[in-house]
């Protein structure tokens, strides 16, 4: 998959701009705060109908403007697809069109293979469980609209359940009020755990090989999914997960009621990264941790390639965070994607690596304007 053309109107700091790209590596250059990341956010939004940031639609609209509008031409599964995305402030209405037809659900998402790499991802191991869950949900929601719907429904159920737990004294200590909510927690949570387990298992197999090959390191890397069912959950059916989950949530019913919050479920899962059997968060160096994340990103790209649809790879200001060794290894990943969008503040910062690759497009941005655009396609 690749993006051929994009038009932006009133999106972030862009008034009205358009440009075109070719498959291959596109370098997006500009000083900080000029709009590089905003362009990548627009590209992501065209692929998934939403931003990768946890913000409101109205915050995407340029200051003092009534709407934003994005249009893109995507080459997807051997054909061109026109995607339009807009939001009106006054009506609080978002409109998505695919080939001119309005769609209520963004159906392209499950067909758009995109791997997104931002500086925060490099700190994935050092951060807390909530950040790793957010990363996991972001990546799996891209691949599956069903997963995105499961997570959305599950979060609403947990919110309602926690409201009852916090206000339990108003309900005269009627613990039975929890049980209908717990049924939904088990039903939705089991399906989320099932999907997470299979994704992490696939990532683990490839990432372990990547870590060894990319960094010529004999350390054994492993990704472990920490959840209510257990480490071997990827070989478990949804029915088996439901059975185990139900037993455990019943056993914790009284404790949840006494403590006033939900104790069990995917909202408390974690992803653990091991090197030689030891927790990388505690025992690995900062550089080793970043190497693990690069190996993980490589695995995500490779999984898309196995599905015979090379992905679009968005790399937002990651190279400024890496040392020379890891820059070199990260550049090797660029060859695996159909199209790469790579942001830099100064082109010269990558001089040691640009001779390894051939740029297909170059875009220079200043104050929300595309001042220079070169497309070799």
Question: For the sheet containing 101-102, what is the strand order?
Answer: 14-20, 2-11, 67-76, 79-88, 93-98, 101-102
What pLDDT shows up at residue 335? 83
Closest CA to 190 of 133, 245, 250: 245
Residues 227 and 183 in one domain: yes
Residues 48 and 146 in one domain: no
Among candidate residues 291, 308, 325, the one where a domain is terminated: 308
CATH number for position 215: 1.20.1050.90
Q: How confident is the model at residue 12 (pLDDT cuts 50, 70, 90)?
A: very high
Residues 151 and 102 in one domain: no
Instruction: Kindly state the DSSP code that residue 307 receives in the 8-state scheme.
Output: T
Among candidate residues 285, 308, 331, the one where a domain is terminated: 308
Residues 15 and 55 in one domain: yes
In 10 A of CB 25, how many CB atoms? 23
Can you tell me the distance from the alpha carbon of 312 to that of 23, in angstroms, rounded to the nearest whole number?
A: 9
What pLDDT shows up at residue 329? 84
Residues 166 and 40 in one domain: no
Residues 14 and 95 in one domain: yes
> Which tens digit of pLDDT belongs to each residue from 185-207?
999 999 999 999 999 999 999 99
What pLDDT shows up at residue 105? 62
Residue 100 φ/ψ region, left for φ over 0, alpha for ψ in the -120 to 50 degree band, beta for the rest = left
Instruction: Kindly state the DSSP code that residue 219 receives in the 8-state scheme.
Output: P
Least reliable range by pLDDT among 164-178, 269-283, 359-373: 164-178
Contacts of 192 by beta carbon, 8 Å cutoff, 6+ apart? 147, 150, 151, 154, 266
What pLDDT shows up at residue 52? 80
Least reliable range by pLDDT among 56-60, 230-234, 288-292, 345-349: 230-234
Whether pTM exceeds 0.85: yes
CATH number for position 90: 3.40.50.300
What pLDDT shows up at residue 65? 97
Is the pLDDT at 54 greater than 80? The verdict is no
Residues 239 and 173 in one domain: yes
Can you tell me the distance from the alpha carbon of 57 to that of 140, in angstroms, rounded to the nearest whole number?
A: 22
Q: How confident is the model at residue 376 (pLDDT cuts 50, 70, 90)?
A: low
Mean pLDDT, the chain, integer: 90
Can you tell me the distance from the alpha carbon of 161 to that of 180, in angstroms, rounded to the nearest whole number?
A: 9
Is the pLDDT at 377 greater than 60? The verdict is no
> Which tens digit of pLDDT belongs to each residue from 241-297?
999 999 999 999 989 988 989 999 999 999 999 999 999 999 999 999 999 999 999
Per DSSP, helices labelled H in the chain are: 36-48, 119-122, 129-143, 145-166, 179-214, 238-251, 253-259, 280-283, 286-306, 324-333, 351-354
Is the pLDDT at 232 greater than 80? The verdict is no
Which is higher by pLDDT, 178 or 154?
154
> Which tens digit of pLDDT belongs to each residue from 309-361?
789 999 998 988 888 888 888 888 888 899 999 999 988 888 777 777 788 99
Return phi, psi of residue 24, to 5°: 110, -155
What pLDDT shows up at residue 141? 85
Q: 375 exposed, middle or buried (CB, 10 Å; 0-12, 13-18, 19+)?
A: middle
Can you tell me the distance from the alpha carbon of 64 to that of 49, in angstroms, rounded to the nearest whole number?
A: 23
Among candidate residues 273, 308, 343, the one where a domain is terminated: 308
Q: How confident is the model at residue 172 (pLDDT cuts 50, 70, 90)?
A: low
Residues 107 and 18 in one domain: yes
Residue 303 φ/ψ region, left for φ over 0, alpha for ψ in the -120 to 50 degree band, beta for the rest = alpha
Which is higher by pLDDT, 84 or 177?
84
Longest CA pairwise span in the chain (Å): 72
Query: What is the domain extent for residue 102?
Result: 1-113+311-377
Residues 98 and 25 in one domain: yes
Which is higher by pLDDT, 372 or 276?
276
Is the pLDDT at 30 greater than 70? The verdict is yes
Q: Say how many domains are in the chain.
A: 2
Is the pLDDT at 21 greater than 90? The verdict is yes
Residues 322 and 217 in one domain: no
Instruction: Kindly state the DSSP code that residue 368 receives in the 8-state scheme.
Output: T
Residues 173 and 294 in one domain: yes
Residues 45 and 126 in one domain: no
> Which tens digit of pLDDT belongs to each residue from 104-130?
666 676 678 899 999 999 999 999 999
Say how many Å lie between the first and final Cα of the chain, rounded.
15
């Amino acid at each position: 998959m690749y993006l051929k053309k994009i038009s932006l109107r009133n999106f972030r700091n862009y008034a009205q701009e358009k440009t075109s790209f070719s498959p291959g590596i596109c370098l997006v250059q500009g000083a900080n705060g000029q709009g590089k990341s905003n362009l990548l956010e627009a590209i992501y939004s065209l692929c998934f109908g939403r931003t990768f940031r946890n913000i409101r639609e109205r915050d995407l609209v340029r200051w003092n403007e009534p709407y934003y509008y994005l249009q893109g031409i995507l080459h997807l599964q051997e054909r061109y697809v026109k995607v339009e995305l807009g939001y009106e402030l006054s009506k609080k209405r978002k409109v998505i069109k695919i080939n001119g037809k309005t769609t209520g659900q963004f159906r392209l998402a499950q067909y758009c293979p995109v791997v997104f790499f931002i500086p925060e991802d490099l700190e994935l191991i050092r951060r807390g469980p909530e950040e790793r869950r957010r990363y996991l949900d972001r990546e799996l929601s891209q691949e599956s609209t069903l997963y995105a719907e499961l997570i959305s429904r599950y979060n609403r159920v947990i919110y309602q359940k926690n409201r009852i737990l916090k206000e339990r004294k108003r309900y005269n200590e009627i613990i039975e009020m929890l049980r209908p909510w717990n049924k939904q927690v088990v039903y939705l949570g089991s399906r989320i755990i099932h999907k997470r387990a299979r994704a992490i298992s696939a990532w683990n197999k490839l990432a372990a090989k990547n870590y060894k090959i990319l960094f010529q390191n004999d350390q054994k890397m492993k990704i472990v999914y920490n959840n209510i069912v257990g480490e071997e959950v990827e070989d478990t059916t949804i029915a088996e997960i439901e059975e185990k989950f139900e037993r455990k949530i019943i056993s914790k019913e009284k404790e949840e009621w006494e403590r006033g919050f939900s104790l069990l479920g995917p909202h408390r899962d974690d992803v653990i990264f091991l090197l030689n059997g030891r927790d990388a968060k505690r025992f690995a160096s900062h550089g080793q941790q970043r190497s693990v994340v690069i190996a993980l990103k490589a695995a995500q790209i490779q999984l898309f390639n196995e599905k015979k649809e090379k992905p679009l790879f968005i790399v937002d200001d990651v190279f400024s965070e890496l040392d020379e060794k890891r820059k070199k290894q990260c550049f090797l990943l660029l060859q695996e994607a159909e199209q790469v969008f790579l942001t830099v503040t100064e082109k010269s910062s990558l001089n040691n690596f640009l001779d390894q690759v051939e740029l297909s497009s170059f875009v220079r941005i200043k104050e929300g304007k595309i001042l220079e655009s070169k497309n070799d396609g």
